[in-house]
Structure 1
Amino acid sequence: MSARRTAVRRALPTPLARLRNLVTFDITRLYETLAADHGDRPLLVPPTPLEYPGYGTPELTGRQLRDVGHRIANALRAAGVTTNTRVVIVKRDHPDYLLYLYSAIAAGAVPVSVSPGTGWAYAAAVAERAGARFLLSDAATLGAPGGAEHVGRMLDEGTTVLAVGTPSGTDDDAWWAGREGVVDFVDAVTVAPTTAPPRRRIGKDTPLALFHTSGTTGSPKLCIWSRRNTYRIWKPMMPVLPVGSGSRAMLGVPFSHQIAFALGTAVLLCGARMSTASLYDPRAALRRIEEERISCVMAFPHLYMRMAGEDLDAYDLSSMKVWAVGADKAHAAHIAALTRHGSLRLPGRPRGSVFLDSYGSTEIGAGGIMQVWLPGDVPEPCVQGKPMPTQFGVRIVDERWQPVPDGAPGRILVRSTSHFDGYWDDHTRWAESRIDGWWWGGDVGRLDGKGRLVFLDREADSVRTGAGVLYGLPVEERLLSHPRALEAAVFSAATDPHTGIGRAEAWVAPKGVLTRADLAALDESDRLVLEKELLALAGDTGERPGLTAVRVVALEQIPVGVTGKVLKRRLRELTATGDELTSTEKGNSTDD
């Protein structure tokens, strides 16, 4: 970029630069944009420092991100990465995921983002399906169970492993030490130049990145995000995203997930200072809001559920203005607990905060169906909101793809301008999910009298009983209205393998009962009373079919995937076999 053009960028006030990105944004030149628009303003606050010398500061500015990003891109090119090379990224959850994604794109590659929580067997299967010949990982992940077996086999087959960091102790402790095909990537980045890699011009249909999703099948599916759909995600965000150069934002999502790529990029472009939070540490997240005066949090429902189980009055959350959610439906009880805190003052309403509850998926690109809950609102269970006019449409159809009567439940079809471009190497699965230009992601719901989408369940998780179909989310919302309930999961127990008929059961984790030890300390009579109260509460609506049983469990007994979603497929397996979930299974599933 010329000095004159850089000077013009710097001369623009941040709001104007933000609007300019509606027209001129180029993901291959993201680093130059961040440096020119935001200069020495702190943009990224990583939970732990980067491994690279000179970039271990608590906060990284626009110029620092440009320099380290260019070094990473140039190190990738020096390692042999060329145009359309697939590079699988499997490493600890850290915002540097974003840097590896951006740098791989700038280097000409197609990054394939995989959560380490899926396990090495799954990650290796993804790499094989993608035809990847490069793997970028860190010491902790390479040393995890299965690493020596699966990554070792990848090395034997010619894959180059870019290893970030070394395990505790000496280099010789690592199974990969001295192996042919392993590159010390910290050294490679340290000596790489900070100059921009050669300009890359990309077409609308150019694959920018692949994001894995497995749904309920557990088999690898790689969603192709092209320039077309990613730009259609980012550009509407520029004028409407509720953050700016004076904002302090926090992301509570796995950085390997597509939502981090979508939202994190937009937050950085808007010049907000971005911190991070773990899905599984609500107290640390609440302390960060308090200490850093966070005004906007974007997280998955699991973190909000965990936050709602804490004594929120014990934290100073007065800086909060906006909570936003993705990847799954947030529960009404948790929304209500959060919006009571905050600094917004709207006419005729108590002071509090706004909750943006969106419906989206990796396939449809971003949350384009939105429900906004204001301070003082009583959130309605299951209400997902209306489509955003710039992005989405929604229809409800039956199993033959025909429209259902007004208000009746059925399959949720959406039409999005930002939907992905297909599954890598799987056109059959892509075709089966596309219905005359509409997309079905496996969800069921209905439209209410106001035209709002009411989310009911995943079709695969709905309980088929002798009395009819029971949808899980409305019952879970009833259970969570109990003041002691923290998390609830309704699923099909004792399902007949031939007919698919089962009975509806619920597992409920009470507040404060996080571990088996907490559950053991619960008085047996108290537990039985709570189970009776919950069962009666779930049946108050008089709907049939209803629950047949409620079991009070510890939160750690409810299996979740890498995004915090409850794995009802796993619950069905557990009840069928009578097994108990082991602690090592939590967060180590390929389900989204």
Structure 2
Amino acid sequence: MGLLFDRRAESGKPMIFRLSRPLDIDPNLGTTFDIEDLAGCVRRTSGALYAAGVRSGDRVAVYKDNHLDCLLLAAAASRIGAVPVMLSGLLPDDAVRALLHRVTPKLLVSDERRLLREDGDGRLLTSFAERTLCLDAQRPDAVTLADLGGAPEPSPAPRGNGELMMLTHTSGTTGIPKLIMYTPAKLQGQMARLECRHLPPITFRRQDAVAVFMPYVHARAFTWIYSVLTLAPAKVLVMSDSDPEVVRPLFREHPPTVIEGLPVDFTRLQELARERRRNVFSSVRMFASTFDAVYWSTIRTFLNASGHPFPLWRYGYGQSETGGLGMTFITRRTANKRRDREPGPRTVGRPMPTFVQIKVVDPRTFRPVPNGSPGLVFARTKARCIGYYGEPERWKEKAVGEWWNTGDIGIKTRTGSVKLLDREVNHTPGTSCLELEDVLVDYLPAGYDVALLTVSDGPPVPVVATPDGRLDPERWRRAARGLPELAEPIAIGLDDLPRTGTGKILREELRRRYLTDAERPGTGRWT
């Protein structure tokens, strides 16, 4: 990874990167870059890290605002053989401190806002690393890039193919996240391999303008950058957030043809997609979503906003530990007919041929169940990462020989497609909370969100997030008409709906707030 930008610069394929805001590691560089600019930025940053005392095998923790320079910092660390530890800037303080304590980094790269936070004992984050690099202020307990500027660029010392190259963390929906261990062989050799191939129309074309909304500390960001630099679309729009007021002018100046984002990003942009005058999504031929289930109402809104004759929605199924496991495509016609059909479990596609195998097993015996029967989804893939850093016991809970326990409850059809019902921790036999949430959101007003919490001795409890924290009873009855029995809804404000750094709803936090004594049917062993 540390030499990736250099090698792509040498290929001579022209590419322009347009950023939604300047880089935190060098704001003076502006917002427009070519490959040579980014390669030079990685080399200079590797020199600064080396001058800060980082050497091969050392761990460099990156904990800052979400932006492309998270990737550049990781590449710079990897270039000199260090191991980047990528932490979302949205992680809660207790999780960050637990992860820093686990990895004992040689260097922590962060900003003053985060470095000023104290824990209950008055300790700052700087106490968890040998040295700290502050990106935006002079501090007595940290160095700055200005202090390290002008350092010579050290010779590259990349990690071996089977050596630990990088750590990223899981979503942390049920507590302190796990740190996933990646090698070059797994991340680049396997996870990124499929999408680095020219497979029209599902991968990038040379004439594409690709826009991305991404948590740039996540493994998905690294497989994405491999594919972008390999397939070399003409223009890449790098978005650090999904604020419509930022997106609108940039997309009007540079109309995108492919957009990838998190479900939460598409949700924030739905009002922009409904604008009829100069709709900024009219040029898009393909939308892509990852990380979590995306609502049918959202898919429909964006496919209808596209002016392309046959726009597609690419929906990927996978996990941080395995990379992609399946993929499906949704057309505008399918999305618009969805409301006229009987709802059913979310189809996430077939396993990627020659890359992935899927089986569904009984959660108690781990024996395969017949096609069409629900059970735990197991996957076998050469892309599976090598472990959880410092937590081998949690890894052994999920790694069963060559198979990986996804913790999802799903169905495998006779044709090999996989349909997801729920996470095991939030599943009630005989129903699908994911499916019911999708239907409810489709029939509630725009801007509403729903999380169903399962309980052992009754129907699921809906937590309904609305713009003002209030829910009209008659409106709710109309939305829930014809659905399986649900408990009385709990209405909260949208800002009170807890989420992870990738936008996933923290259901366990909702349980703690509103269902303190209720038992759930799922075990939660494999989350």
TM-score (norm: length of structure 2): 0.88
Write the distance in 1 (CA, Å) between the matches of 2:474 and 2:381: 47
Amino acid at match of 1:191: G
Q: Hey, what does 2:459 align to over in structure 1?
A: 503
Q: Hey, what does 2:524 align to over in structure 1?
A: none
C-alpha spacing 1:311/1:76, structure 2 compared with 1 (3 Å): closer
Judge conservation of contact 1:72–1:192 (CA < 8 Å) in 2: no
Write the distance in 2 (CA, Å) between the matches of 1:284 and 1:381: 35
Q: Hey, what does 2:513 align to over in structure 1?
A: 574
Judge conservation of contact 2:115–2:125 (CA < 8 Å) in 1: no
Q: Hey, what does 1:477 align to over in structure 2?
A: 438
Judge conservation of contact 2:171–2:502 (CA < 8 Å) in 1: no
Judge conservation of contact 1:357–1:370 (CA < 8 Å) in 2: yes
Judge conservation of contact 1:86–1:109 (CA < 8 Å) in 2: yes
Amino acid at match of 1:508: V
Q: Hey, what does 1:186 align to over in structure 2?
A: 146
| Correspondent of 2:59 among 86, 91, 113 | 86
Range that drifts further, 42-51 or 202-211 = 42-51
Write the distance in 1 (CA, Å) between the matches of 2:121 and 2:51: 26
Write the distance in 1 (CA, Å) between the matches of 2:291 and 2:227: 17
Residues 87-106 of structure 1 deviation map (CA, whole Å, 9 limit, x = unaligned): 11101111110100101000
Q: Hey, what does 1:554 align to over in structure 2?
A: 493
Write the distance in 1 (CA, Å) between the matches of 2:116 and 2:211: 29
Q: Hey, what does 2:341 align to over in structure 1?
A: none
Write the distance in 1 (CA, Å) between the matches of 2:473 and 2:327: 39
Write the distance in 1 (CA, Å) between the matches of 2:415 and 2:405: 22
Q: Hey, what does 1:433 align to over in structure 2?
A: 398
Amino acid at match of 1:340: N
Query: Which residues in structure 2 correspond to 1:188-587 (within 5 Å)?
Result: 188=148, 190-193=149-152, 195=153, 197-213=154-170, 215-231=172-188, 232-239=190-197, 240=199, 242-272=203-233, 273-277=235-239, 281-282=243-244, 284-308=246-270, 310=272, 312-314=274-276, 315-344=279-308, 351-365=309-323, 367-378=324-335, 382-399=346-363, 400-463=365-428, 470-482=431-443, 484-492=445-453, 495=455, 500-509=456-465, 513-516=466-469, 519=470, 527-539=472-484, 546-576=485-515
Write the distance in 2 (CA, Å) between the matches of 1:46 and 1:268: 19
Judge conservation of contact 2:126–2:132 (CA < 8 Å) in 1: no
- CA offset at residue 476 of structure 1? 1.0
C-alpha spacing 1:289/1:45, structure 2 compared with 1 (3 Å): same
Secondary structure of 2:174's aligned partner: coil
Q: Hey, what does 2:71 align to over in structure 1?
A: 98
Write the distance in 2 (CA, Å) between the matches of 1:488 and 1:530: 14
Write the distance in 1 (CA, Å) between the matches of 2:16 and 2:250: 16
Amino acid at match of 1:453: V
Secondary structure of 2:408's aligned partner: strand
C-alpha spacing 1:288/1:390, structure 2 compared with 1 (3 Å): farther
TM-score (norm: length of structure 1): 0.79
Amino acid at match of 2:467: L
Q: Hey, what does 2:95 align to over in structure 1?
A: 122
Give the number of equivalent residue pairs.
503
Query: Which residues in structure 2 correspond to 1:163-182 (within 5 Å)?
Result: 163-166=134-137, 171=138, 177-179=139-141, 182=142
| Correspondent of 1:160 among 131, 144, 166 | 131
Amino acid at match of 2:19: V
C-alpha spacing 1:146/1:320, structure 2 compared with 1 (3 Å): farther
Judge conservation of contact 1:320–1:342 (CA < 8 Å) in 2: yes
| Dislocated runs of 4+, deviation >6 Å | none
- CA offset at residue 78 of structure 1? 1.6
Secondary structure of 1:178's aligned partner: coil
Write the distance in 2 (CA, Å) between the matches of 1:244 and 1:45: 20
Secondary structure of 1:414's aligned partner: strand
Write the distance in 1 (CA, Å) between the matches of 2:57 and 2:120: 26
Q: Which runs of 5+ in 2 are unaligned?
A: 339-343, 518-526
- CA offset at residue 327 of structure 1? 0.9
Judge conservation of contact 2:107–2:131 (CA < 8 Å) in 1: yes
Secondary structure of 2:321's aligned partner: coil
Q: Which has the larger radius of gyration?
A: 1
Judge conservation of contact 1:505–1:550 (CA < 8 Å) in 2: yes
State, as a whole percentage, how many aligned pairs show the same letter. 24
- CA offset at residue 515 of structure 1? 4.4
Q: Which runs of 5+ in 1 are unaligned?
A: 1-26, 172-176, 345-350, 540-545, 579-591
Secondary structure of 2:350's aligned partner: strand
- CA offset at residue 159 of structure 1? 1.5
Range that drifts further, 233-242 or 250-259 = 233-242
- CA offset at residue 341 of structure 1? 2.9
- CA offset at residue 310 of structure 1? 5.0
Write the distance in 2 (CA, Å) between the matches of 1:147 and 1:164: 25
